[in-house]
Structure formats: structure tokens, C-alpha cells
Structure 1
């Protein structure tokens, strides 16, 4: 077949890619799968899950049908992670901390003030640190397709503005169920306790908890402005999201199917990170528009936090493992040096 000599190089590449995908799709078996997560479906992770499902349907000629199921309809995060390991649920995105007892290295992500920017965190999770985590998670039945973004975590509460470190003292804050995080907040005077995500909104509404800490996009999509009056832009921890497939499901795929899924996952990861970045500014303004008073710690107070936290979390960092933490620190240094 002759092609018009004026056909652009981009068009030729597109034709070749479409042909390759069409040929590949002939060998794909019909499959159904579920993609579960705890976020609202309009969260950037929910949008990326839908994008991934749509792309997999396209490249498989409709043979791979992935149902996207948000709002914890398949259960809380730990339950979904267990279902992933057992092969009962095929895809998941959310916190990986439910696997902390099996992969202790996951605890590093809650070490305060590790990362300065999102781009820095992306480079670390996409490099040797992420590869090491992926290998360990593969060993417990989970194949990582990518590391998505939840964002830097900030503090909210319903009692008072938190302008200084002293304002935190006595506030009952919900944190993630990570002993490192609990001890970090206790070291700076907060009354920190874990609570399942599914119970958090009601706990804040009933004043059983004064506040919580989460990325701003998540707070906005979950309507926390209805039960919280004050926000402090602490940016104390960068929070990633694991994007994973059950290893049992992954191993049932052909090499060609795995290749197509890996490519779709890479596109979804870029899309999700970009979406989170775009929505973070909108979400922060949205919180302000809903009446939430937003403040920031001074550099002096941030330095006080940096001085108080390390001794309190040292035993936990030691448990994560010196070798792994050295890899984390060396990778951060390499990224900052532009290498």
C-alpha cells in the first residue's frame, strides 16, 4: 500500500502504533476486573483510574473490561489490599501503609520533611527507591504499576487557628496508623490517634477528633470544609499513592498483555500526577471560599518541629532499615544535585 508522501512523521507513527495495538489485541483474552479505591471518583486518582480503564479497553478492542469503583465501596484500604493479595480484587490505588507489617520499608514515606517538592518525590519513587519497594511488594503478592500522588499533607482542625507550634498542643488529631507518624505528632505536642478513613468525617463532625492531616485535594473532594474551620499549611509529609495490580492477575496475563498494561499505566501515572498538581491550587482556593481560615507556620516554628521530631522517630527509622534509608537519602541528594 502506498502512503501519501505528504503524510507527516507523526501520522506514520500513529498508524504504526495503531496497527501494532490492533495485532496485539487479537491475542488478548476477554477479561473483567475491578479497580477499587477509597477516594471520591472526582479525585485525581479516580479520574486517572477511569482513564486507565478506558485505555485498556481501547488497546484490547474492548476485551479487557475494568470496573472503576470508588468511595470504599469494596471496603477500607487494608481490606482492599488483602483482596489484591488474594486475587479477589484486581486493581487498587490508595495508601500502602496497610502492608507496613509485611514491607517495613514502606514506613519511610512518613518521615517528616524528606522532600522539598513534588518533582523531587517523583524522581525518588521512579528510581532505585521505588524499584526496591516494588520488588518487596511483588514478594507479598502485589505488582506495582506506578506511584501516584496524594500530595503534601497539611493540618486542619475545628478548635482554633494554628499559627505557632504552641497552638498544636492538646489538639486531638487523627493520623494514619503508622507508629512513626503518631510519635512525630506527639513530639510536637498534639494528641495524635489513628482512626480508619471511613470513620473520619463523622468523627470530625461529632467533635470526637479536633482535626486531621491530609493533602488539600483529598480534603476538598471529601468536603472536610463542612467540619473543619482552620487549616495550617505545614507540608510536613509527602504522601504517595500506590497504583497496583494483584500479582495473581498480573501473572495470568500474557507477555503482550503485560506490555500493553505497563504502557497504559505509565500514561495514567503521568495523567494522575499532572491532575493532582492542577487541582491542588483549585482545592486550596475552594477551601478558602468555603470559609476555612488558612495559615502557615513561620520558618522558626518549622525549624522547631525539625529539631523535635528526629529523636522521637529515631527508633522507627532504625526499624525501616539503615541500608534502605541510606538509599533514600542518597537518592534525594542525587536528585537535588541534578545528577
Structure 2
């Protein structure tokens, strides 16, 4: 073999090796919670499915490793991240229609009904993908994370009790409107500032699913947990659209299958999670007071929900109305399916 032939052979081998490596990539996936919290459990199952069924690897980045929620969304849009899990609470400024998940008392609390809705909803599976695509994102799935509870320093049972109470909210315009309607003073803050703000009384309350109240130790800096039944925390898993569109069909299929498997896994994982979290909080802080408002007590908050829904329609126009109407149809179908 001549020198030039050896060079050509070496170049061909290097090209083949490079091509092989290009098909076995490491994909980056960031989310808004810790590894042992709901989004982290979902991400680990997604990673497991991808690595079992493709040559690719998934590198996971839990909350704080790449910055705040706004940072990881920007990185996902820029293609630095291939996947991101983020609540519509933070994407509301990008996709106003996604704020529909913050219309109070729209989503049911029953686990089976919720699972059916998120899996089969036309609004989620047929209408939202185009809105996310406009922002450079491929919507893979949405899933619920649990009933939202409100933790405060003082007890409340009526909107009047929340007068001048500063409640931390995500940077979401409709969530701000919700707490205004509930009588409180909404205070948008990045999550990393919440514990300290409660500790120093800059704010007097916050809302989150019970597992997150427990895992982030919000009970250490508040004294009351109140369930008014107003919402269930929703999150969305997305891919960078340019990345996703550039994949071969077999990889796209594997990603969608992994998202579906992780969805089923996380719905099952959450069974009993709220109750277990309550018990952990009681054990850690026996003085913590838990209150679930009765239907009669909830009525003033439900009455305020109409005002918030009207604000949602003002913010989003015809597009928002179509999505809200479809979601109501989807929710009715899910309710009927869970009763059959």
C-alpha cells in the first residue's frame, strides 16, 4: 500500500468513525426540580427508555445546575439543550395561551380524570404543538404534578383574609391575576429567592404541590397549608425543534415512545404522593396546620375564577378562546371516561 493509499484509507476510516459517532450523541435535558422530585423521576424514566432503545445517551440537569427557569428555556431555544421540562407558568410570556392552565378551578383534582385528560386532550395534542413550534420548541407531552396547596404564615379561609398578604407567584401574568382576584398581593419571584423571602417576611406565602412543599422545606418558613382546590400543577416536556426536526425517523419515534412511557410512569408514581408528603411534613413539624376548605368555603374563590377566565380571554383573544373551549370539551370527555 502506497503512502497516498494509506492516507486515503485512514481518512475513510476516520470519516466512518466520525459518522458513527454522530449517530450516537449525548443529548442534554434540563428540568425545574431536583432529581428525586416529580420532574426528575419523569426525566430519569425518559433517559432510561432512550438509552435502552437507541445508541444515544441523556445527560440530566436538575434545578439550579444551569440557572433559573428562564435560563434553561433560553438554552433550549438556542439549541444548547435538546430537551427541557418547564411549567406553562414560566412559558406564559412566550405562549400566552399556555396560561389556560392557570384558570382557577378549570382542572379537576381526580387523578384518573386528570391522566385521561392529559393523555387524550385535543387541545394539548393537536392545538398546543403549533404554538410551541412558533417558539422553536417541539411539544412532547404535558403532565400533572399534583394539587396545588397554598402555604402561609397566617391562616385564611376567605379572600378577605388574604388582604395585603404577599403570595409568591411564578412570573406568569394570569397567575398574578388569580391572586389579585383571590384578594392577595401577588409577588412574582424566581424560585431561588422564595425561601429567603419567606424567612425575612418579604412575602408571606407561596403555592406548590404538596410534594414540593415537603421536599423544598417550605413548611420551615410557613405555618399553614391550605387546600382551596383551585389548580393542579402542570408541566410540559419539550425538545428544541430544529434538533428534533433534523433527527431520523427512528429517533423521533424513540423519543415519542420514551415520552409516552415516562408519562405512564409518572402518573403511577404520583399515586399517594400527596398523602405521603403530608405525613412527612407532620413528622418534621407537628405544629404545621393543614386545612382543606369545604365546598361552601371555596365558593368565593370559585366566584373569583370567572374574573380570571375573562382576563385570560382578553390576553389571548380568539386563539385563547378556541383552546379554552376545546379544553372544556376534553375535560368533559375525560370525566365521562373516568366514570364509565
- Interval of TM-score (by shorter of Structure 1 and Structure 2): 0.7 to 0.9
Aligned to 2:3: none
Superposed counterparts of 1:1-339, under 5 Å: 29-60=23-54, 63-116=55-108, 117-126=110-119, 127-131=121-125, 132-158=127-153, 160-291=154-285, 292-320=288-316, 321-338=320-337
Kindly provide the CA deviation profile for residues 262-317 of structure 1, in whole angstroms up to 9, marking residues without a partner as x: 11111111112222233222112212222221012222221111113312541323
| Counterpart Cα distance in 1 of 2:309 and 2:174 | 6
Q: Which moved more, 1:145-154 or 1:259-268?
A: 145-154
CA contact (8 A) 2:93 2:172 kept: no
| Counterpart Cα distance in 1 of 2:31 and 2:240 | 14
CA contact (8 A) 2:152 2:206 kept: yes
For structure 1, list consecutive stretches of 5 or more residues without a partner in the other structure.
Answer: 1-25
| Counterpart Cα distance in 2 of 1:99 and 1:296 | 30
| Counterpart Cα distance in 1 of 2:311 and 2:224 | 32
Equivalenced residue count is 311
Aligned to 1:7: none
| Counterpart Cα distance in 1 of 2:199 and 2:240 | 36
Aligned to 1:21: none
| Counterpart Cα distance in 2 of 1:326 and 1:48 | 29
For structure 2, list consecutive stretches of 5 or more residues without a partner in the other structure.
Answer: 1-19
Shift of 1:105: 1.2
Runs (4+) of structure 1 moved beyond 4 Å? none
Compute the TM-score of the two structures, normalised by the length of structure 1: 0.85
Kindly provide the CA deviation profile for residues 184-229 of structure 1, in whole angstroms up to 9, marking residues without a partner as x: 2122221111111121111112221111011111111111122121
SS at match of 1:248: helix
Q: Which moved more, 1:201-210 or 1:312-321?
A: 312-321
CA contact (8 A) 1:137 1:144 kept: yes
SS at match of 1:277: coil
| Counterpart Cα distance in 2 of 1:289 and 1:165 | 30
CA contact (8 A) 1:38 1:73 kept: no
CA contact (8 A) 1:145 1:244 kept: yes
Shift of 1:234: 1.6
Compute the TM-score of the two structures, normalised by the length of structure 2: 0.85
SS at match of 2:272: helix
- Aligned pair in 2 of structure 1 residues 275, 144: CA closer, same or farther (>3 Å)? same
C-alpha RMSD of the superposition:
2.0
- Aligned pair in 2 of structure 1 residues 312, 242: CA closer, same or farther (>3 Å)? closer
- Aligned pair in 2 of structure 1 residues 247, 201: CA closer, same or farther (>3 Å)? same
| Counterpart Cα distance in 1 of 2:163 and 2:283 | 28
Kindly provide the CA deviation profile for residues 108-161 of structure 1, in whole angstroms up to 9, marking residues without a partner as x: 000000122233333333320102112221232111221122222111012x22
